[in-house]
Chains A and B, each alone.
Chain A
Amino acid sequence: MANDKIIVVGGGLAGLMTTIKAAESGAEVDLFSVVSVKRSHSVCAQGGINGAVDTKGEGDSPAIHLDDTVYGGDFLANQTPIKAMTDAAPKIIHLLDRMGVTFNRTNEGLLDFRRFGGTMHHRTAYAGATTGQQLLYALDEQVRSFEVDGLVNKFEGWEFLGVVLDDEGRARGITAQDMKTAEVKTFKSDAVIMATGGPGIIFGKSTNSMINTGSAASLVYQQGAVYANGEFIQVHPTAIPGDDKLRLMSESARGEGGRIWTYKDGKPWYFLEEKYPDYGNLVPRDIATREIFDVCVNQKLGINGENMVYLDLSHKDSHELDVKLGGIIEIYEKFTGDDPRKVPMKIFPAVHYSMGGIWVDYDQMTSIPGLFAAGECDYSQHGGNRLGANALLSAIYGGHVAGPKAIEYVRSLDKSYEDLDDSIYEAYRKAEEEKFENVMNMDGDENAYAIHKELGRIMTDNVTVVRHNDKLLETDKEIVKLMERYENININDTKRWSNQAAFFTRQLWNMLVLARVITIGAYNRNESRGAHYKPEFPERNDEEWLKTTMAHFEGAKESPRFDYQDVDVSLITPRKRDYTKKNEGSANK
């Protein structure tokens, strides 16, 4: 029998880590990505990666990291996998260090750590303020060495179209399409790992890269995978408003002493420090976002009455800023023309991360056997709100688990994809080719990009920081209307060669499908928890809602079906989440 064969979809941190783990065990990996993997969205992560290495003598430990993460996520996350993740975190950081990541160092040449939101400890390893880029490059380099060794085949510039399921409903490969030639092909394997990132582009402008449509996750959801906690969308408190994108201004700016303020009665008002004396500017993101939103939208105290407040680093030493925050200082300068070393930055919250995603078990396997998921596209590690610098950790940790577990799964199968009839694959390929033809033949009078803009606007207005049930219902109706308008799109360019519009049009449908999951999920959840906030139900309601939202696809024109799963609270009993004082769970450990 040939080597174990798996397919990884997505070349960000999670996908690359999965690939490395699988290739290391001798398996052959086909790695698919819509862009060269070095250009994946992980490069946009700035602040750092968490791990309780405790080099500062603070008595930090994985147990405290676990508690901070669970507490920060408002107890929605299953605790067993988080414990595994926080236990693995220090080892993951050391591994990355061995791979040559240019982590900032202490005077002794050891890894330096900084503070991040939702913790009292220095737990975040960082490489300037382009940590995600540096981590991605390290993994990209390792994968390149496996590529040279012939264990990894990269398919860059290929779009995932769906999983191939055998008669038993197991994932046995994928269909994909070459974005240049438009050729549709099936690829065989015994396991498929989705590492396809988040769905930020559903919200139009966000801190996300343009490829973050959530389209691939939506596709497997439409093929029967359960999508969990979709309504939990993190809105990052500090981003630079822009015409094409809302550019992230990392939490590390506050970790390194940045202060949020605005004018009140003619004087600077440090509203976070005032309300949260212990955490100050380093309260978790959902809280900082709601406060900024409240100051600007309700109290109308934004700068010059606009929806912006200051993020101020101008009191810090400018050389230190360059060393510790290199990357984001330049981004602000390049796009606004102002120097954050001298003047306070103007920022406003922006959609940033999806805590929800494809449902996975503790082995990162989805509800479809043989289909795994890791990284932002899975739902498992953050609950109701993700702590800063836990994303890079969860992405890499997810790959760390998914890779070996996929191999384990493959080895446990009693027949391989080689024993399957070719007709299965052929049917999938034909179906996708037909679908593509249908897209190419769209000759109505709507523009896909215009519909997307509309979707982004209604999602951002109604399904982000503050959610009202009436508006959510209205939003779902609007999405359905957009789905109707979708049928009337004009493809504009009928050439097959590198037709971006055709690919985008197909992604747009998947975004619309996922938008409904997010919106109706939010409508159903009548409580406030983590990033999900409803003024009508301002309190967390553990009795009714300490549950994972599970969305099931019921058909293109149908609403998703929801059921709910209990949360694993086997390690820490849920308690009230209150950042106006220190997290007692973390202090007691």
Chain B
Amino acid sequence: MSEETIKLNIKRQENNETQPYWEEFEVGYRENMNVISALMDIQTNPVNAKGQKTTPVTWDMNCLEEVCGICSMVINGGARQSCTALIDQLEQPITLEPMATFPVVKDLQVDRSFMFEGLKRVQAWVPIDGTHDLGPGPRIPEKKRQTSYELSKCMSCGVCLEVCPNVNDNSGFMGAAAISQVRLFNLHPTGSMNKDERLEALMDEGGIAECGMAQNCVQACPQGIPLTTSIAAMQRESSFHMFKSFFGSDQEVE
């Protein structure tokens, strides 16, 4: 058995009111490890690199296959999912930090309720009359469905907000994720019946106008969602909406 080890440098914090500090760890190397399995080893044996007993590192994990969106953190300077961060592809020591855009709960765990509030704000759902049987849904061309599917993969992981220079404490900017959801629901035949409400939510404070087009979101999105195309498309829609609601007739949905 080889003595190869993995070095981790983890930014820790008791809670949102205390000062963060760095703690180094070393764990044994195995093949196919990811950041999560290294953190699990620390859980099983909470001892730091100096050999001192410490508390296990707190972080969020769940599906471990990059569909639940919970395990985002900043790894070697980049925000991403820790489950797909394979040890073999990372430079050591591996630095782990919580995402800075969100309030820290503890260690690497953050509070992303801001994102879910954003989804409420933009009415990110298809309004239906009820769950009783009303027969099939509307027909949708497969090509359009493929566009929607890409947008619908958003798992609210928060990476796009973390890398965005305009999502911060100084601004109320909702970030790319919620904007892209407006595009998703406005594409749906039933969803589009409420597209004006969603656009107006986008045009409100903290909305689409605060996008600074740094386009980091689209680079960082772990699901490869075309976020910047979504934003530009919603820029166009909201431009039209602005003119229509000022110059246009009283008919809102065409």
On whether A and B touch (CB less than 8 Å), the answer reads yes
Total chain B interface residues with beta-carbon distance under 8 A: 69
Q: Which of A103-111, A307-315, A387-395 contacts B (4 or more CB under 8 A)?
A: A103-111
Interface residues of B in 150-191 (CB under 8 A from A): 152-153, 155-156, 185, 188, 190-191
Interface residues of B in 201-231 (CB under 8 A from A): none
Taking the closest CB of chain A, its distance from the CB of B149, in whole angstroms, is 4
Interface residues of A in 546-563 (CB under 8 A from B): none
Which residues of A have CB within 8 Å of B155?
38-39, 43, 133
For residue A422, CB closer than 8 A to chain B, the reply is: no
The residue that B66 contacts in the complex, of A107, A137, A331, with Cβ under 8 A, is A331
For residue A500, CB closer than 8 A to chain B, the reply is: yes
A370, B14: Cα distance in complex, Å: 40
For residue B238, CB closer than 8 A to chain A, the reply is: no
Interface residues of B in 11-59 (CB under 8 A from A): 14-15, 30-34, 36-37, 40, 43-46, 53, 55-56, 58
A109, B125: Cα distance in complex, Å: 21
For residue B133, CB closer than 8 A to chain A, the reply is: yes
* Shortest Cβ distance from A154 into B: residue: B116
**Are A209 and B68 in contact, with the CB atoms below 8 A?**
yes
For residue A471, CB closer than 8 A to chain B, the reply is: no
A102, B153: Cα distance in complex, Å: 10
A175, B62: Cα distance in complex, Å: 23
For residue B63, CB closer than 8 A to chain A, the reply is: yes
Which residues of A have CB within 8 Å of B146?
323
**Are A145 and B127 in contact, with the CB atoms below 8 A?**
yes
Taking the closest CB of chain A, its distance from the CB of B94, in whole angstroms, is 15
User: Contacts A102-B149, A110-B139, A327-B67 known; A335 to B86 CB distance under 8 Å?
Assistant: yes
For residue B251, CB closer than 8 A to chain A, the reply is: no
Which residues of B have CB within 8 Å of A323?
146
For residue A461, CB closer than 8 A to chain B, the reply is: no
Which residues of B have CB within 8 Å of A411?
none
**Are B133 and A106 in contact, with the CB atoms below 8 A?**
no
For residue B98, CB closer than 8 A to chain A, the reply is: no
* Shortest Cβ distance from A331 into B: residue: B65
* Shortest Cβ distance from B222 into A: residue: A334
User: Contacts A137-B152, A335-B84 known; A100 to B62 CB distance under 8 Å?
Assistant: no
Interface residues of A in 209-243 (CB under 8 A from B): 209-211, 242-243
Q: Mark A20-50, 1 if CB is under 8 A from B, else 0.
A: 1100100000000001101111011000000
**Are B156 and A104 in contact, with the CB atoms below 8 A?**
no
For residue A431, CB closer than 8 A to chain B, the reply is: no
Which residues of A have CB within 8 Å of B100?
none
The residue that A245 contacts in the complex, of B64, B137, B153, with Cβ under 8 A, is B64
**Are B63 and A209 in contact, with the CB atoms below 8 A?**
yes
Which residues of B have CB within 8 Å of A38?
68-69, 116, 155-156
Which residues of A have CB within 8 Å of B32?
242-243, 335
The residue that B126 contacts in the complex, of A91, A98, A453, with Cβ under 8 A, is A98
A107, B128: Cα distance in complex, Å: 25
For residue A341, CB closer than 8 A to chain B, the reply is: no
Which residues of B have CB within 8 Å of A130?
67, 153
Which residues of B have CB within 8 Å of A109?
139-142
**Are A35 and B65 in contact, with the CB atoms below 8 A?**
no
**Are A244 and B34 in contact, with the CB atoms below 8 A?**
yes
The residue that A102 contacts in the complex, of B62, B68, B148, with Cβ under 8 A, is B148
Which residues of B have CB within 8 Å of A460?
none
Taking the closest CB of chain B, its distance from the CB of A209, in whole angstroms, is 5
User: Contacts A142-B128, A144-B124, A500-B58 known; A492 to B46 CB distance under 8 Å?
Assistant: yes
- List 19 A-B residue pairs with CB atoms under 8 Å apart, sorted by A's residue number: A36-B116, A36-B156, A38-B116, A38-B155, A39-B68, A43-B67, A100-B137, A103-B145, A105-B139, A107-B142, A109-B139, A141-B119, A145-B123, A180-B105, A245-B65, A331-B65, A331-B66, A450-B44, A498-B58
Given contacts A43-B63, A100-B125, A107-B142, 15 further A-B contacts (CB under 8 A): A24-B130, A35-B68, A36-B70, A38-B155, A95-B134, A97-B136, A102-B149, A109-B141, A144-B119, A145-B123, A209-B63, A243-B31, A323-B146, A335-B32, A497-B15
